[in-house]
Structure 1
Amino acid sequence: MTRPTIGDIIAHDSLLFSRVSLQREVPKTKSIYNAIMDYYSHTEYSPSPAQIERNRWVFFGLLRCQPWMAIPAGILIQFCYGSVYAWSIFNSPINRTLADDPNRGRSEVTFYIALGVLGVTGAIFGPWIETSHPQKSGIIGMIVFFAGHITTALAIQVKMFSMLYFGYGFVAGIGLGIGYVSTIDAVSKWWPKARGTAAGCAVMGFGGGSLAFSYINKWLIDSFTLSTAFIVLGTINFSIMFVCIQFICPPPPGHNLDGIPVIETNTEINLTLGRAAKGSFPDRSQTAKIEEQQPRYMHVFGSERPVIHISLAEALKSHDFWLLYVAFLANIVFCLVILSNLPALINRLFGRESKTPKDPPLEAYVAVSIEGAFNMAGRIIVGFTSDMIGRKTTFIILLAVQIVALICIPITISSGNFWLFLILIWIATICYGGGFGMIPAFLSDMFGSSNTSSCHGVFLTAWSIASVCGGLVFTGIVNRYLSKGYKPYDTKMYHINFVWMMVVVVIGFVCCLFVRSSIRDRLFPALPHQIMRIRIFGRVLRVLWLPSDRIDDTASVADSVSMNQTAQSTSPLRHGLRRKRLHVELLTKEQEQVAWEEYLFLRAVQYQLLKESGNM
């Protein structure tokens, strides 16, 4: 009999991820639905041997490709795309030039359109970006982004808001979505063991661009006509990105694991039998020691490292994907709203428009610049932290910190404590930037490196929803109270806004708790009578509703109930009369490992029995 592999078992087990749906016969004539599902099911980049050889060289084939080159190139590319966050500098000049009433604020709509299109573009083009060479998608994004600037300059020249919305909002938004996703994910794939840090570095460039271009845009407006300023800005971005994109290329095949590991192997234990770690051959006692250390399932399967392959379509059907999506949206909504309203909040609550007008302790533009610096720092600090302590643990901390900040900020407003208010905003901004820096690595860990661009593209729609809807809700509440006669410095309208934002963050926190971030958590079958199982800070917490006579206070349920034990058969009447109690247990690492190894071993036995009975 052919020796079964763990991969065979995983594929056979009906409780696990399966690609059976992809193995069915494809109809000759594809419907639109089938075409879409096919597009979202194949996201692997498959270069030819000649292309693999070309990928070894960068900068027009003159330099040997090195992993570190992707980091500075990615930072500078994202720096240019980050200029979109400095759009507010253009609002007043554009409104004065194009609008009959400069106070109507029609230019501000352009920014919301650009962010909305960015998210939709990422979701639509994600699979194509994943299957394409990152330099190809990066160049297309760069060209489209430049075309948006040229169209914007033309719109200002002919004084048409509709062309402005189309040029910068729609065209530049498409280029931004393609370039943002392709660059970050290309950089992170070079560092599979430090994805959080690599992605955080690249995204840090985006935050740096938002900070630097506030001053660059102001200089352009003072030095050129408004239409010429956009041509110069587009040319600057295009030139920098054109040079940097020459250093972006995909890693060679095998650089990233083709799938998601099912087991975390210990290289000192799970060696191929007959060969020692340093290449020498062990003696009999060493071999015996290695065999003794191996779990039971490894005696059956050898040293194979099994993986699970998940298509994008399967990832999108997973409730873990959408729980993380909600958590990501909750993590960014607060600071996205504050980002555009912080100057108004400072002036109305603590400055010249407050109940007792005075100069604020810190000018609003300086506070915004410092906030941008914290945004940048959070992206790399949180990304690095997630590599150390885990993605889910880090994300839970980010959301918890924001909840505390949102509880305390209304108190600082009521007490007039300006500096504590500002410090809390800056701390929350670290969490905001950190979410962007960590999410590409989080998605890669959960659904595989071949789905990173695709999943990341879908997640960018949360960016669009949070910025557009969050901004509209905040402004709508403020305007409603102002129309009722409240003054801009009245705190009630701001307290209500902080309350709804805190509710959103709390919902995201709860969703994050239930995200099964590791493949082990998704493969674990439920125990009989289990109500809930979540992982908090690396430990498994289980809640069970057990009959009183089944609870043993001297031992953990993990020890007393087998992972695959079926419930004891009882008559419905007797079962209904038995008293039950809620049992909560926090598994130790050792208990979890024992249960996991038992699960793999039982799957091996199941597979062998099915093979012997001829049912496979």
Structure 2
Amino acid sequence: MRDLPQSRRMREIAQESALFGRRSFQDHANHAARSVIGMVLDYFSHTEYRPSPFQVEKDRYVFFGLIRCREWMVIPAGIIIQFCYGSVYAWSIFNAPINHLLEPDSDKGGAEITFYIALGVLGFTGALFGPWIESSHPRKSGIIGILVFYSGHLTTALALFVRLFSLLYFGYGFVAGFGLGVGYVSTIEAVSKWWPKARGAAAGCAVMGFGGGALAYSYINKLLVQHTSLPTAFLILGSANFVIMLLCLQFIAPPPPGHNLDGIPMVSAKDHARLCGEETMIEEAKQHTTNIHSLAASLPAVKMPLAEALKSRDFWLLYIAFMSNIVFCLVVLSNLPSMISRLFGRESSSPRDTPIPAYVAVSIEGGFNMFGRVMVGLISDNIGRKATLLILLLTQIIALICIPITVNDGSFWWFLVLIWIATICYGGGFGMIPAFLSDMFGINNMSSCHGIILTGWSIASICGGLTFTSSINAHIKHGGKPYDTHIYFVNFMWMLALVILGFICCLFVRSSIRDRLFPSLPGQIMRMRVFGRVFRVLWTYDSSHSGDGSCAPSGNSKTNRCCLRLSKSCRHLHFEYLGKEEEQAAWEEYLMLRAVQSRLMQDQSN
């Protein structure tokens, strides 16, 4: 009996030990989770390349230290590197031969999925490695991209030799896609940083090579398929690309420190202003100046952390708009030969030869893709990124409405013309988006933001491409004919809906620091910039309007206002389309209040 208390005590000790053990394990797990999160946050916080003085001096010379670096050199080097990476766009030439080699029933397809996987991996690789690319030397990230891309070609050759679809997906889809992601982002980032005053044109020139890859490699791939075996074709293609890209990479170097503005400038150069952070002191405020232009001139540029950029609703609205701009042509790029054959050619309801072969149409499409990247980037430097993207989306909406009509009428040439026009918009989106992101979030965040926004490319490639291919294959499996047009019309309609959604999202993107920080009024519901002027909707209690829905101009003749009475109370729905002078006055008042706030905060801290 005397042993009972001791036994009870032993059980209590055992229970306490077990509880302590569980708590210790839980605390250890929580600590490990916090450490992992901290490492991730730290990784995405360092997005700036900081070379040593020795490295800066070394980067003054390129091509193994033999040639003095000039800013124009990066353009042709970047174009050629992107040209080799752009060989992925001519993948559709390999679809039929690979299907015949690996799949007895070639109508089921399977090779097309490789293209979707490669572009899917490209986007997510760019997102994951964006901060590392931004903070590393461009030749370091470039050589890794080239080596992995070459490894993907070697693995693809092996997959075709042993006739395994799974190894094909891994080799060209995952391995080559990984190399594409690293190489694509690092090359564009290096070229764009050399041309801060014409970033849209510079980025457009760089990605022009990527679009041009489809133009040349359509012929190259066709010749390789005709004169060699498929494994040998990928060995030749990968080896040639490896040598060419490795040589061109030697001309890539980062610009010297101070070449780019450290932050985001104000959109209006007329203000001579730079917006400061909350802790920055303004010398004119110290002197109690009342000159807004003198005051604004002392404000530094805005430095936006990457985390703040990624949390911004403007980034995700732009993400949707970008993805919507590319989904249609992304699907067409990998399916154009089969679409031409089934809708107008040998596999159509009335078999016949098309006016031009399918591979020629693919090559011409690559030319429009290449042309759009440069042209749209240059246009965006002059009329603005947002206005340019809206034009691209609107053009695609019109094209998607008209394409089913051309298919139904059997108008081969009008079908191709609309496809090529849409391809200009597709390539233009890629040419403009790096400069768009740089303008919105700063040059030091460009690679990281660009990598993340390229996941929209991945989603559009995987989801859009697989949806299109699966719907066609399911239609054929259930007794439908490959040339039935209604299954294509269904696909065109969901793509049209997505492009319209992208157009709406783009309308609400605040593409500049000024738009994002423009002061809101009490009761404001929404604000957006339309044709260069601010349009906003807000609730007011102004009783000066009759409430019958009529419009009346304000005292400022350049500002249009309209009030709509929605109830018997004095509450009105108020619409404003601000004139340039009124917008400028409101913005200068905001800058002055911000300057005074900074002064007061520093006085309190002292």
TM bucket normalised to smaller: 0.7 to 0.9
Q: 1:512 aligns with which of 488, 506, 511?
A: 506
Q: CA RMSD for the aligned pairs? A: 2.6
Taking the aligned partners of 1:151 and 1:479, their CA distance within structure 2 comes to 28
SS at match of 2:154: helix
Instruction: Give the TM-score normalised by the residue count of structure 1.
Output: 0.84
Deviations 1:339-394 (A, max 9, x none): 22223333333333333333334433222222111111100000000001000010
- State how far apart, in whole Å, the 2-side matches of 1:64 and 1:376 are: 30
Aligned to 1:158: 162
Whole-angstrom CA distance in 1 between matches of 2:247 and 2:44? 32
Q: State whether structure 2 residue 425 is matched by structure 1 residue 421.
A: no
Q: 1:495 to 1:182 in 2, by over 3 A?
A: same
Q: Is residue 2:428 matched to residue 1:434?
A: yes
Is the 2:292–2:588 Cα contact (8 Å) retained in structure 1?
A: yes
Matching residue within 452, 455, 477 for 2:449: 455
CA distance in 2, matches of 1:364, 1:97: 20
* Superposition deviation, residue 147 in structure 1: 1.4
Q: For 1:347-366, list aligned pairs within 5 A.
A: 347-366=341-360
Given that 1:139 and 1:242 are in contact with CA atoms closer than 8 Å, whether structure 2 keeps it comes out as yes
Equivalent residue, structure 2, for 1:537: 531
Question: Residues 262 and 305 of structure 1 are in contact (CA less than 8 Å); yes or no, is this contact kept in structure 2?
Answer: no
Tell me which residue corresponds to 1:466: 460
CA distance in 1: counterparts of 2:68 and 2:393, whole angstroms: 42
- Contact 1:263 1:306 survives alignment (8 Å): no
Partner of 1:289: none
Secondary structure in structure 1 of the residue aligned to 2:538: strand
Deviation digits for residues 310-354 of structure 1 (CA, Å, limit 9, x no counterpart): 122221111111100000000000111122222333333333333
The Cα shift of 1:553 comes to: 3.6
Distance 2:357 2:95 in 1: 20
Q: Within 5 Å, give how 1:206-355 maps onto structure 2.
A: 206-262=210-266, 264-266=268-270, 296-300=291-295, 303-355=297-349
Q: Tell me the equivalent position of 2:59.
A: 55
The runs of 5 or more residues in structure 1 that have no matched partner are 1-26, 272-293, 562-574
Q: Distance in 1 between matches of 2:359 and 2:238?
A: 25
- Structure 2 residue 591 is the aligned partner of structure 1 residue 600: yes
The superposition leaves residues 403-425 of structure 1 with CA deviations (integer Å, 9 ceiling, x where unpaired) of 11111222222333332222111
Conserved? CA contact 1:262–1:306, under 8 Å:
no
8 Å Cα contact 2:112/2:334 also seen in 1: no
2:580 to 586, 589, 599: 589
Tell me the TM-score normalized by structure 2: 0.85
Shift of 1:244: 0.4
CA contact (8 A) 2:218 2:362 kept: no
Q: Aligned with 2:543: secondary structure?
A: helix
How many angstroms apart in 1 are the aligned matches of 2:560 and 2:90? 60
Q: CA deviation at 1:486?
A: 4.1
Deviation at 1:155, TM superposition (A): 2.7
| Aligned-pair CA distance for 1:30 | 5.1
* 1:177-214 alpha-carbon deviations (Å, 9 max, x no partner): 10000001110110001111011111110111122112
By how many angstroms is 1:148 displaced?
Answer: 1.4
Q: Give the direction of change, closer, same or farther, for the CA distance of 1:323–1:101 in structure 2 (3 Å limit).
A: same
Q: Please say if residues 114 and 173 of structure 1, whose CA atoms lie closer than 8 Å, have aligned partners that are also in contact.
A: yes
The secondary structure found in structure 2 opposite 1:427 is: helix
Pairwise CA distance, 1:606: 2.9
Larger radius of gyration: 2
Q: Distance in 1 between matches of 2:155 and 2:237?
A: 13
DSSP-derived class of the 2:526 partner: strand
Counterpart check, 1:191 vs 2:195: yes
CA distance in 1, matches of 2:131, 2:72: 26
1:140: which partner in 2?
Answer: 144
After alignment, is 163-172 or 152-161 more displaced?
152-161
Which range moved further: 431-440 or 587-596?
A: 587-596
Distance 1:461 1:49, change over 3 A: same
SS at match of 2:510: coil
Q: Which residue of 1 aligns with 2:569?
A: 578
Q: Deviations over 1:140-186 (max 9, x none)?
A: 11111111112222333333333322222211111111000000111
Aligned length: 552
Displacement after TM superposition at 1:34 (Å): 1.7
Query: In the alignment, residue 456 of structure 1 is paired with which amino acid?
Result: H
SS at match of 1:549: coil
CA distance in 1, matches of 2:50, 2:362: 44
Amino acid at match of 2:570: R
- Identical aligned residues as a percent: 64
